[in-house]
Amino acid sequence: MRKVISLIAELLIVTAAVFIADYWQQHANVIPRSLIHLPQVDYTVPEFWQILKIFLGIHLVAIVLMQLKAGAWMMSNTKRSINELFLLIATYSISALTVFLATTINFDPDLMAGIGICTVAIVLLIHIISALVKGTSFGSLMAALATALFKRLFSVVGLLVLLLALSPAVMAYFFTKDRDFANIVTQMRINISGFFSADLNYSLVFATGDYRFHQPMLARMAPNDNSTLYVLERSGRILKLPYPYSASTPPEVVMNLQDKVGYVEVENGALGFTFHPEFGKTDSSNSGFLYIYYTDVRDDKQVNRISRFNLGAESTADIIQSETPLLTLNRESNGFHNGGSVEFGPDGFLYIALGEGIHLKERSQAKTLRQGIIRVDVDMQGGETSHPIRKNPINGKSENYYIPNDNPFVGHNDIREEYWAIGLRNPFRISFDQETSELWVGDVGSTKWEEVNRIEKGHNYQFPYAEGFEVNTAKRPASLIGQEAVPIYTYLHTAYDRAVIGGIVYRNGDLSDLTGKYIFADNYSSKLFVMSTDQPRVKSVQEIARASQYAQRGVSSVSQLTNGDVLITTLGRASAATGEVLKLTDKEPVKNTPQVSAEEPVLVSATDAKEIFVTNCSRCHGESGQANGPDSQLLGVNIADFSTAEFQTRRSDDELLKIISNGGGAAGLSPLMPPWKGILDEQEINALIGHIRGLAGTETQPQN
């Protein structure tokens, strides 16, 4: 009985330490930032419970083994209490290392340090109280405690336990400072979690053999044609190729909008496309129609365009000339948050996803089109089905479509009639469930939350007043237009999971275990996830695969073909054809040729360097490097202003190389500046430094 009571008491100590540390790290830094600058890490509630289970499970085994050797813990016995303390410290260290190396939980150094400190404090406090109750004088107790602690600390076992206790913090430090070490740990975590999880036996294999694309955005089949694949590249090219792929039939460029797209930067470019449901039907006037969403960037002006093109025109030049605009929307010049999907619904209407960036911030949705899903009738049926546009948005022009009469806001004076749902930030990818016709969206968040939403008619998903399940600082009106709604699933926006790519509800394919589940991705980490679709709120998802290209080179779309195959596009480098079209399979990945030949190194031009900067750096530093990017005010840290002579003279090229390669923490700066080594190669980083030097407008040349 004494052993059982002792076991329960020690497990309660561990439980209390975890809960106290969780509260502590939420309200203060457990590890002083003046001592070591570690990143602020958020973990989810399910991750907290998983951490608690890991700690309790490992401590249960260790305590039972200790009891078999030495019996129950006599709390008033100084020598035994010190031995028990070192046992718990060692077990704590093993538990922390297990979380760090064998799970995909966001590792929070503050939480782990807090658990260790609280464990030590509680054990010592219990021993002191127990000894005093037994009648031991305080002075002799402190002397005995110091003696026992000194002997154990400087024994071989004590020193090993001390080193073990420090190892989680040391590994966390190097994880944030050394990209190579981080890559090793990341791969280890993936391998270990994959070993224990049957859901990680899915793979991504090349769907187009050796052929690589220039930043592919989306791959899809046309209606009524199961043997042809169309791939949209970010520059505005659409390529047509046989599917399954045959190297004997090279891809054909069927449309090239590069002259219309202009300069591709930040989140601009050709974003999404779809075919009219009657595409390919020779007896239909819509047989050649394709709809595309692209940004037009030239002369420092940016315009979002949704247009129709006729692929049935006689020549490629005629195809370009066939452009019929639906929306021409002037936007802010920062290039962020366009949205980007165009999808025909089961009802035959066109749904368009618009981001919050394509507007003038002081304008209401009664006058502009932004941050929501709109629904329009491109066939302009009229009558009981739809009616003409009543007025243009103030930020552009709308034409060549009607508005469905059953849109939720028809006749509403405070919002444009095109809207189907509102309150989204950047709904980059949307799709319809083939079976239920439900509309799903991945809504890219700001600096904290990513969302998956099931879109319903007339609902308001509350951005900018709320994000995830948290209230934002934006002043909320007394009442919101539409019915308030919340996400189905959210996840914390970290340095590596930070841009959700909405996917598809899997239906009618060979991967039967995935049927009815929503498959989506993260652009930055290139992870592929699945989640349930039959719950009002999903608290956890399963990672099933990961692409090999990360950050802004990562996943740009997840789509399902009419034959059931799931295709994933990854962007690859901006300066070379390294973008991939991948197929999800439950088989082992196939071998393939290298993306770029070692004998043919890719030169990084000044244009490439600028694109690298605006794509990866301008969210914080601003397009001109003046520390005025859209996220600059949200991070709570000082951001370097590259336009000043003071910065240019203070930082050498070698220092910039170190900061960009290894992250801000490696130079004593904010760890919110992530490391780019392993994501950008050496040539790209050097070219990026050259671009940063050109932002100053000064002839000062710092010395290395």
The pLDDT value recorded for residue 555 is: 95
- Read off the pLDDT band of 611 (50, 70, 90): confident
Q: Which of 59-63, 308-312, 380-384 has the lowest mean pLDDT?
A: 59-63
The contacts of residue 414 (CB under 8 Å, 6+ apart) are 364, 365, 366, 481
Per residue in 184-194, pLDDT (tens digit) is 665 566 556 54
Residue 288 pLDDT more than 90?
A: yes
Residue 348 pLDDT more than 60?
A: yes
Per residue in 20-63, pLDDT (tens digit) is 998 998 888 887 766 665 555 666 676 788 899 999 999 999 99
What's the CA gap between 346 and 374, in Å, rounded?
15
The pLDDT value recorded for residue 598 is: 37
Q: For residues 582-592, give the mean pLDDT.
A: 71
Domains and CATH numbers, the chain: 2-196 (no CATH), 259-528+558-564 (2.120.10.30), 606-693 (1.10.760.10)
What's the CA gap between 361 and 174, in Å, rounded?
42
Residue 666 pLDDT more than 80?
A: no
Residue 180 pLDDT more than 60?
A: no
Residue 277 pLDDT more than 60?
A: yes
The pLDDT value recorded for residue 242 is: 96
- 293, β-bridge pairs: 272, 306
What's the CA gap between 274 and 313, in Å, rounded?
17
What's the CA gap between 221 and 209, in Å, rounded?
18
Structure tokens given for 107: 């590792």
**Residue that wins the pLDDT comparison between 520 and 691:** 520
Q: Are strands 459-460 and 483-484 parallel, antiparallel or unpaired?
A: parallel
Full strand arrangement of the beta sheet holding 203-206: 203-206, 580-585, 566-570, 555-560
Judge contact between 107 and 186, C-beta under 8 A: no
Residue 352 pLDDT more than 90?
A: yes
Distinct helix (H) and strand (E) counts, the chain:
14, 31
What's the CA gap between 405 and 218, in Å, rounded?
31
Residue 390 pLDDT more than 60?
A: yes
- Read off the pLDDT band of 104 (50, 70, 90): low
What's the CA gap between 250 and 593, in Å, rounded?
17
Q: Which of 435-444, 470-479, 516-525 has the lowest mean pLDDT?
A: 470-479
Average pLDDT, the chain: 86
Q: Which of 123-127, 236-240, 455-459, 567-571 has the lowest mean pLDDT?
A: 123-127
- Read off the pLDDT band of 304 (50, 70, 90): very high
Which region holds residue 585: left if phi is over 0, alpha if psi is between -120 and 50, else beta? beta
Per residue in 462-482, pLDDT (tens digit) is 998 999 988 887 888 888 999
The rounded percent of the chain whose pLDDT value lies above 70 is 87
Q: Give the Cβ contact number of residue 7 at 10 Å.
A: 18
Structure tokens given for 9: 């008491």
Residue 623 pLDDT more than 70?
A: yes
Three-point CA angle 659, 673, 358, nearest 5°: 130
- Read off the pLDDT band of 591 (50, 70, 90): very low
Q: Which of 261-275, 429-443, 648-662 has the lowest mean pLDDT?
A: 648-662
- Read off the pLDDT band of 593 (50, 70, 90): very low
**Residue that wins the pLDDT comparison between 649 and 418:** 418
